[in-house]
């Protein structure tokens, strides 16, 4: 299905700087801001429709979230469409974990819009990839007994934002919009901010 996108009559209307086809060996996501600069290379057995934002925000005017993850790969697998959302961070704490969820949601909305634009349907699977150098969520959870309590409902920040929990981080899942328990794969970055993973 991915290879058919290039023959779709709407393909000519998308910016190849931000939506393009890539093969294994050409699949990567970069963070260009100096504070968290780095590059994650992805290996894959197939092609992917790649999404790269203009900046941290690639907003859809109708969507409330104006933040966006660093990249996405839309791929075919044996059951249909699989969206991989990618965000690069240096250090992940509770606040950055919450921001990452918003960025994943923003990129997911963009990916769904692109799928609709090319008449590709709804994905059957989503995976989030969080690339990081270090984290202090699991450590702070162990050292602070109050953070180990099971929460009732969904925690909300002062701005009314639903916060992902420490339990979700250590359990490797996150809630995106109305989708529960989306898997989150951690990719460890080296001292230069780079890393590698397989899709």
Host H or E run for residue 162:
none
Give residue for tokens 């919450």.
98
At residue 38, the 3 state secondary structure works out as strand
* Whole-angstrom Cα Rg for the chain: 17
**Are the CB atoms for 56 and 68 separated by under 8 Å?**
yes
Query: Is 188 domain-assigned?
Result: yes
**Which pair of tokens denotes residue 8?**
């779709």
At residue 33, the 3 state secondary structure works out as coil
Query: Is 77 domain-assigned?
Result: yes
> How long a stretch of residues is the chain?
199
- Please give the tally of structural domains in the chain: 1
Query: Is 94 domain-assigned?
Result: yes
For 10, 36, 78, 81, the CA distances from 105, given in Å and listed in that order, are 25, 20, 25, 17
The β-bridge relationship of strands 80-88 and 125-132 is parallel
Task: Give per-residue pLDDT as tens, 27-50.
Answer: 999 988 888 889 999 999 889 999
Q: What are phi and psi for residue 184, nearest 5 degrees?
A: -120, 120
> Which pLDDT tens digits describe the chain residue by residue (199 residues)?
788 899 999 999 998 888 999 987 889 999 888 888 899 999 998 899 999 887 656 666 677 777 889 999 999 988 999 999 999 999 998 888 888 988 999 999 999 999 999 999 999 999 999 999 999 887 654 545 544 554 444 444 444 445 566 777 888 888 888 898 899 999 999 999 999 999 9
Query: Is 104 domain-assigned?
Result: yes
Task: Give per-residue pLDDT as tens, 147-168.
Answer: 455 444 444 444 444 556 677 7
β-bridge mates for residue 82, sequence order:
75, 125
Query: Is 138 domain-assigned?
Result: yes
Query: Is 199 domain-assigned?
Result: no
Query: Is 198 domain-assigned?
Result: no
* Host domain of residue 105: 3-192
Query: Is 197 domain-assigned?
Result: no
pTM of the model: 0.86
């Amino acid at each position: 299905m991915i290879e058919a996108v290039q023959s779709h009559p709407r393909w000519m209307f998308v910016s190849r700087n931000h939506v393009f086809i890539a093969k294994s060996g050409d699949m990567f996501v970069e963070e260009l801001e100096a504070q968290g600069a780095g590059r994650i290379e992805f290996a894959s057995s197939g092609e992917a429709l790649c999404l790269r934002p203009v900046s941290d925000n690639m907003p859809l005017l109708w969507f409330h979230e104006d933040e966006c993850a660093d990249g996405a790969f839309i791929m075919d697998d044996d059951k249909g469409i699989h969206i991989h959302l990618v965000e690069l961070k240096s250090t992940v704490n509770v606040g950055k974990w919450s921001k990452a969820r918003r960025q994943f949601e923003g990129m997911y909305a963009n990916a769904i819009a692109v799928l609709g634009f090319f008449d590709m349907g709804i994905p059957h699977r989503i995976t989030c990839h969080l690339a990081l150098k270090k984290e202090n969520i699991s450590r702070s959870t162990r050292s602070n007994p109050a953070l180990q309590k099971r929460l009732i409902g969904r925690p909300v920040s002062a701005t009314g934002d639903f916060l992902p929990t420490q339990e979700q981080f250590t359990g490797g899942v996150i809630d995106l919009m109305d989708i529960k328990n989306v898997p989150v794969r951690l990719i460890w970055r080296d001292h230069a901010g780079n890393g590698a993973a397989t899709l």
